[in-house]
């Protein structure tokens, strides 16, 4: 990360975490991102590696077993990991949302399990697709189908419960859960799956105290963090393209000398910086405890499209090489486009922002 493509200088107290993330990305992500994509699976101990690097529960209080920093620090981590692996960055975002939600709810047992798990967990908003349909001898009966959601070693699944919401921490092997792994365009190493849920879930797995507000809070965190990951993907692609453009020669000069190449880099740096500022606005609101739904939606809108554009331009700069899997750019393009699967589509975000503007003028 250089100032030229990241307007934001980390505040002094975050310099250590920035350096830790950079080292983590260098040692654990960069060299493996391609293999994860090809295997369509992340490292089986990625959760452990996050934790060892101080990247587990980044915004969770130290007394609860977290790192005790902030969502700003979490976004920095998601962005930096995204520069090397979109799948790992989104996995980090999901895991951090799980930890934040469990910590907020005081669900210490589940939080302890999630913090010590070798694999990351995922957080799923299933309130449109899954509902509590009653009680049975074994606990809450829930039923529904989730399309293309990320599956972790366990999932915090939010479901509809009458007029309200309920959240459950469910292991992937739970008998009520049927997971059908799907191949996707991007974020292939995330375990995106169609998930059928039908059965009884023990009382102990219900996370008490998750209401509509808590759901909205975690949703905003996730949207902002996936936006941060997307910015990271775009940044990674742009930096790779800049490095390539300086060494690739055509017509007797480095292609970076052509305006057509240089300006693509300038455009990408500009829009990605703007997107990053909108991510910062969102995580600052989150850290300050303000409602962040709209700020997060804006961050998503500002990030997803420009990230795709930056990756596509980076691919173009790489010419024919960029189209091959020898270079990371084609993966980054796919991953950038797939961020919306987890972070929400433009239609959702634009709807929310428009409603907020209308509300503001009366």
Partner 1 sequence: MIDFAPSEAARAVEGVARKLAAEVLAPAAEALDRDGGFPRVSLEEIAKARLLAVNLPQELGGRAAGVVAYSLAITELARGCAATTVAVCVSNMVAEVVNHFGTPAQRQLHVPQLAAGRHVVGAFALSEAAAGSDAGAMRTRARKTDRGWVLDGGKLWITSGSDAGLFVVWARTEDTPGTRGISAFLVPGDVAGLGRGKPEHKLGLRGSTTVALDFAGVEVPDDALLGERGRGFPVAMMALDGGRIGIASQALGIAGGALDAATQWARDRFGADVPQHVQWALADSATELEAARLLTLRAAWLKETGRPFSQAASMAKLTASERGFAICDRLLALMGEAAQRRGHPVERAFRDIRVTMIYEGTSEVQRVVLSRDIMRRFADDGGRT
Residues in contact with partner 1 by CB under 8 A are 147-148, 182-186, 249-252, 258, 260-261, 304-305, 308, 312, 315-316, 319-320, 322-326, 330, 333-334, 337-338, 340-341, 345-347, 350
CA distance 182 to 84: 23
SS3 183: coil
**154: its two tokens:** 């366990």
Instruction: Choose between 8 and 321: whose C-beta lies nearer to ligand FAD.
Output: 321
166 DSSP β-pair partners:
159
Contact footprint for ligand FAD (CB under 6 A): 248, 250-251, 255, 258, 260-261, 316-317, 319-321, 323
Instruction: Choose between 15 and 253: whose C-beta lies nearer to partner 1.
Output: 253
Q: What is the smallest separation between the CB atom of 149 and partner 1, expressed in angstroms?
A: 9
Q: What is the smallest separation between the CB atom of 154 and partner 1, expressed in angstroms?
A: 22
Residue with the closest Cβ to ligand FAD?
Answer: 319
CA distance 122 to 152: 5
Given ligand FAD, partner 1, none, residue 112, with its beta carbon under 5 to 8 Å by kind, binds: none
CA distance 89 to 85: 6
CA distance 121 to 125: 14
Residue recorded with tokens 């990271």 = 232
Q: What is the smallest separation between the CB atom of 82 and ligand FAD, expressed in angstroms?
A: 24
CA distance 40 to 117: 20
Q: What is the DSSP letter of 215?
A: H
Instruction: Choose between 120 and 322: whose C-beta lies nearer to ligand FAD.
Output: 322
Name the residue among 169, 162, 46 with its Cα closest to residue 105: 169
Q: What is the smallest separation between the CB atom of 238 and ligand FAD, expressed in angstroms?
A: 14
Report the Cα 185 to chain-centroid distance in Å: 16
Given partner 1, ligand FAD, none, residue 231, with its beta carbon under 5 to 8 Å by kind, binds: none
**222: its two tokens:** 């996730």
Instruction: Choose between 176 and 314: whose C-beta lies nearer to ligand FAD.
Output: 314
Name the residue among 117, 19, 25, 14 with its Cα closest to residue 65: 117
Q: What is the smallest separation between the CB atom of 17 and ligand FAD, expressed in angstroms?
A: 36
Q: What is the smallest separation between the CB atom of 137 and partner 1, expressed in angstroms?
A: 35
Given partner 1, ligand FAD, none, residue 182, with its beta carbon under 5 to 8 Å by kind, binds: partner 1
């Amino acid at each position: 990360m250089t100032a030229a493509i990241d307007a934001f200088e980390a505040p002094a107290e975050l310099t250590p975490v920035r350096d830790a993330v950079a080292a983590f990305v260098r040692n654990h992500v960069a060299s493996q991102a391609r293999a994860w994509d090809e295997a369509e699976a992340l490292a089986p101990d990625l959760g452990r590696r996050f934790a060892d690097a101080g990247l587990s529960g980044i915004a969770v209080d130290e007394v609860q077993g977290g790192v005790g920093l902030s969502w700003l620090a979490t976004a920095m981590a998601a962005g930096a990991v995204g520069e090397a692996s979109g799948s790992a960055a989104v996995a980090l975002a999901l895991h951090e949302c799980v930890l934040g939600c469990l910590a907020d709810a005081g669900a210490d047992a589940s939080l302890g399990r999630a913090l010590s798990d070798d694999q990351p967990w995922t957080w799923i908003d299933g309130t449109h697709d899954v509902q509590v349909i009653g009680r049975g001898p074994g606990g809450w009966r829930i039923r529904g189908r989730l399309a293309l959601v990320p599956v972790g070693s366990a999932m915090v699944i939010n479901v509809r419960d009458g007029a309200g919401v309920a959240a459950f921490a469910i292991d992937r092997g739970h008998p009520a859960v049927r997971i059908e792994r799907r191949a996707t365009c991007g974020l292939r190493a995330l375990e995106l799956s169609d998930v059928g849920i039908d059965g009884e879930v023990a009382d102990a797995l219900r996370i008490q105290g998750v209401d509509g507000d808590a759901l909205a809070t975690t949703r905003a965190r996730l949207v902002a963090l996936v936006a941060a990951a997307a910015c990271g993907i775009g940044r990674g692609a742009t930096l790779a393209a800049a490095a390539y453009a300086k060494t690739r020669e055509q017509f007797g000069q480095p292609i970076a000398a052509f305006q057509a190449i240089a300006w693509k880099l300038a455009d990408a740096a500009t829009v990605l910086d703007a997107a990053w500022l909108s991510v910062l606005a969102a995580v600052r609101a989150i850290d300050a405890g303000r409602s962040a739904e709209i700020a997060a939606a804006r961050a998503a809108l500002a990030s997803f499209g420009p990230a795709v554009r930056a990756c596509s331009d980076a691919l173009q700069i790489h010419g024919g090489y960029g189209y091959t899997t020898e270079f990371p750019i084609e993966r980054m393009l796919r991953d950038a486009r797939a961020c919306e699967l987890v972070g929400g589509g433009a239609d959702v975000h634009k709807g929310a922002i428009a409603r907020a503007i209308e509300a503001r003028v009366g």
